[in-house]
Amino acid sequence: MPERVVVVGAGMAGVQTAVALREQGFTGTVTLIGAEPHQPYDRPPLSKAVLLGTAEGSAFDVDFEALGIELRLGCEALGVRPGEHLLDTSAGPVPYDALVLATGAEPIRLPGAEGVPGVHLLRTLDDAERLRPVLARQHDIVVVGAGWIGAEFATAAREAGCAVTVVEAADRPLAGALPAEVAAPMTAWYADAGAVLRTHARVERVEPGEPGAVILDDGSRLPAGAVVVGIGARPATAWLAGSGIELGAYGEVLADERLRTSAPDVYAVGDCASFPSGRYGERLLVHHWDNALQGPRTVATNIVGDAPATYDPVPYFWSEQFGRFVQYAGHHTSADTTLWRGDPSGPAWTVCWLRDDRLVALLAVGRPRDLAQGRRLIEAGTVMDPRLLTDPARPLKAATA
């Protein structure tokens, strides 16, 4: 067993790895290195309660000292020398026996808008704190991107009384995540909440000013007291260049089924890494909270335990937008069969995806019981009866073949 474990990245995945090591009886040193100066915190509240000021912060309720976890905050990892078992940081080299990469993801910036005053991202506590007074001033806000973050930010901004226009280059919200027929009913959620959604809208440039403006490629000019960019995130792995650690097409660390990287004694977990899913037969890059909770347990087991542990989760995430609780479990492709439970124009409905009559994924809007039951059915690979499944009055667990 290694004596010194170093974890890079003090977000959800890094913190959970450090905690899981202790839970699993690891008695060596655990050093948790994080670039941000803040006490480690959770991100989902940043687009919800923290943004609206109904929660002060979202620091993890973990007593690092009592657990014997050494926190090095405000310290940036700059590179890895796997051959020498050394991590280079802004505070000098740190030796390790096992290293865990958990540097998460960083938001994609809007080309040409970098450094323009009034243009914001929403990834960190500092971002949320900068945005809080923007909401309080009830500016006209333009949100670029109708993805998960854009929808959640628009929800909070409407709640705060701001005029909100969301511009989206695709023909619908969540185009990268959901098929057109499933995203279609979500379009109406924007208007219901009093937000304007403009699809097929590409940003040409952002003009600074008081207020500034967003200029679209069709020439329209949207006045903007503030612009919030939510056009996706990519793994924060640029610092690994030259380390020899293998990266994938999206810049993510390529982990194996035990979450090991291509370098000896180096693991990767959370938003920064993809893993081969035995369950779905393809490599998955998951940018959601539950993955940063579950993956660390596998990493800790593989560092501490004698028996190897394989990571093969049913991915799960939730989003709170426009007064709705949206949950998704599993993974589907366009080849899977889509079945509806309930009326998508109503407040609560579910979409299921079947492969060979087995449930592989579901999206539940305001139907948490469907989600909980569906998740278990996916895990078990239960064969479903498609006819029973489409009856929303019947519990999902009673729709088996």
Ligand X SMILES: Cc1cc2nc3c(=O)[nH]c(=O)nc-3n(C[C@H](O)[C@H](O)[C@H](O)COP(=O)(O)OP(=O)(O)OC[C@H]3O[C@@H](n4cnc5c(N)ncnc54)[C@H](O)[C@@H]3O)c2cc1C
168 vs 271, beta carbon nearer ligand X: 271
77 vs 197, beta carbon nearer ligand X: 77
Nearest approach, Cβ of residue 216 and ligand X (Å): 25
Nearest approach, Cβ of residue 45 and ligand X (Å): 8
Strand-by-strand arrangement of the 4-8 sheet: 69-73, 29-34, 4-8, 98-101, 266-268
Nearest approach, Cβ of residue 204 and ligand X (Å): 26
Under 8 Å CB-to-CB from 345, ≥6 apart: which residues?
A: 185, 188
Report DSSP letters for 173-203, one per residue: TTTTTS-HHHHHHHHHHHHHTT-EEE-S--E
Nearest approach, Cβ of residue 71 and ligand X (Å): 12
Does an H or E element contain 101, and which? strand 98-101
Does an H or E element contain 325, and which? strand 324-330
Task: Return residues touching ligand X (CB under 6 A).
Answer: 8-14, 33-36, 43-44, 46-47, 76-77, 102-105, 122-123, 149, 236, 239, 270-271, 287-290, 292, 317-319
Hey, what are 260's tokens?
A: 């090991």
Nearest approach, Cβ of residue 109 and ligand X (Å): 14
37 vs 381, beta carbon nearer ligand X: 37
Question: Strand pairing partners for 330?
Answer: 361
Hey, what are 349's tokens?
A: 């409905």
118 vs 150, beta carbon nearer ligand X: 150
172 vs 287, beta carbon nearer ligand X: 287
- Per the CB < 8 A criterion, the answer to whether 154 and 195 are in contact is yes
Nearest approach, Cβ of residue 159 and ligand X (Å): 15
Q: List the one residue out of 27, 42, 7, 20 whose CA is nearest residue 265.
A: 7
150 vs 212, beta carbon nearer ligand X: 150
